[in-house]
Structure 1
Amino acid sequence: MHSRNPFNSAVVVNPLMRDFDALVRELAQPGFFRQAPRERTPAADILESEAGITLHLDIPGVDAKDIQVTVERDVLTVKAERKAQPLADGVNVRRQERAQGGFTRSFSLPETVDATRVEARYEQGVLTLSLPRREESKPRVIEVKVQS
């Protein structure tokens, strides 16, 4: 008599294949396409110069009043929300790739940044944060004197 093998395809593979098959059939229905949820973290560029740091965040479709920028200790935090647009009667979403809802993104500030002078500007879907250097951290040019 054969003992039951837990790795037998009738025990393990068939339920997995059945679930996979059901998923493929669901995705293949006409008029529907589903995608994995996209992460809601906006892309960021961080630039550094002698004057300080400039941070650009791509957050198109967000109303400026729905953006909150805070600095607490050495952490800069940006919170924002892209609100869903109401659909007219009789309109259904066939595909939606633009993320809706809120996000929070935080950045550790170096000690060279003067957190009391951070400035924020929002234009054409890009949030630009200017993080000036502390005066004492700016490079100082020392004149070399020539003695004759």
Structure 2
Amino acid sequence: MSLVKFNNGAKNTGLMNDFNDVFGSIFTDALLPSHLITKIPAVNVSETNDQYHIEMAVPGLKKEDFKVNLEGDVLTISAEVKKEDKKEEKQYKKQEFSYSSFLRSFTLPDSVDHGSIDATYKDGVLVIEVAKKEEAKNLVRQIEIK
């Protein structure tokens, strides 16, 4: 699995690159409210002889906020959080609602054991371990030379 960043082919160097870095974020932050910007958690996927290991960086959530579903060969991880901030100003009561959600799906290979998928959430990282079937594990053995 790989991430591909968009690059329109323009080569920004020196002062122009610095200008785009500084002012690009200012304009984006000023013109687009944070609830309109899509934020997808970063994911690391690794493989050992016994299992696939998926780590997702999702700080600030609780384990109750997540849903991990398996439908066929598709593993789906989602979360939805509703934050409510209340502020008292003079005689008025102000409420601001903020919704945050994401959904990531992974197609699992045929070598996984669908009955052995575990998920844990600790220190802002959701870890999902997907075990491989016995026949899919690489067996290592010494071959005798005759």
Q: How many residues align?
A: 112
- Counterpart of 1:35 in structure 2 is 32
Q: Partner amino acid for 1:33?
A: A
- Counterpart of 1:56 in structure 2 is 55
* Contiguous gaps of at least 5 residues in structure 2: 1-25
Between structures 1 and 2, the one with greater strand share: 2
Please state if 1:128 is matched with 2:127.
yes
What percent of counterpart residues are identical?
29
| Residues 22-41 of structure 1: per-residue CA shift (max 9 Å, x gap) | xxxxx99xxx9343632232
Q: Measure, in 2, the Cα distance between the counterparts of 1:107 and 1:87.
A: 38
Return the offset for 1:139. Answer: 0.6
- Counterpart of 2:4 in structure 1 is none
Larger radius of gyration: 1
SS at match of 1:119: strand
| Residues 25-67 of structure 1: per-residue CA shift (max 9 Å, x gap) | xx99xxx934363223211110111121110111112221121
Please state if 1:101 is matched with 2:124.
no
TM-score scaled to structure 1, two decimals? Answer: 0.65
Return the offset for 1:134. Answer: 0.8
- For residues 1-148 of structure 1, the aligned pairs below 5 Å read 33-35=30-32, 37-90=36-89, 100-147=99-146
SS at match of 2:138: coil
RMSD in angstroms over aligned alpha carbons? 2.6
Q: Partner amino acid for 1:109?
A: L
Contact 1:62–1:83 (CA<8 Å) still a contact in 2? no
